[in-house]
Structure 1
Amino acid sequence: MSGVYKSIEMVGTSAQSFEDATRGAVKRAAESMRNLEWLEVVEQRGYIKGNEVGEYQVKLKLWFKLEDNES
């Protein structure tokens, strides 16, 4: 697994769960990025609406491997 990696931060949200927010963010990132390999949940928080959790939010770091310039 040697190579060089770059990371980005994203925020995912879901009305269902922290896990769903995480999966949604990774799925969305994969639509426009290649070589995603790692994730780290940096923060979790929720929005309270009407004395209940109305939204789950996760801040993620996603790492992707940089492609080699070799032809």
Structure 2
Amino acid sequence: MSDNAYSRTEIVGSSETGIDDAIRGAITRASQTLDEIGWFEVSEIRGEVHDGEVGHLQVTLGVGFTLRDTKP
């Protein structure tokens, strides 16, 4: 069994339609540049209000991923 090292970064997803869309969009986008994403956690949810209605939502995520070996 090999030992792994992990890193955690923070990203923010946004959506006009819902929290789930904000999370999924953020993870999809992060997956384009981060390999081996293994987990996420929601640390903050914010919303914008326009004329008494919920407008835009932002979700802050902690994203964990496995670090790759740099040796050939």
Q: Secondary structure at the match of 1:61?
A: strand
Q: Secondary structure at the match of 2:68?
A: coil
CA distance in 1, matches of 2:55, 2:28: 22
Deviations 1:15-58 (A, max 9, x none): 00011100000000011111111100000111001110001110
| Structure 2: gaps spanning 5 or more residues | none
Q: What is the TM-score normalised by the length of structure 2?
A: 0.89
Aligned to 2:17: 16
Residue 62 of structure 1 aligns with an amino acid whose one-letter code is V
Q: Percent identity?
A: 39
Q: Secondary structure at the match of 1:25?
A: helix
Q: Secondary structure at the match of 2:30?
A: helix
Q: What is the TM-score normalised by the length of structure 1?
A: 0.90
Deviation at 1:70, TM superposition (A): 4.8
Runs of 4+ off more than 4 Å: none
CA distance in 2, matches of 1:12, 1:53: 16
- Equivalent positions of 1:29-68 (< 5 A) are 29-68=30-69
CA distance in 1, matches of 2:6, 2:47: 30
| Structure 1: gaps spanning 5 or more residues | none
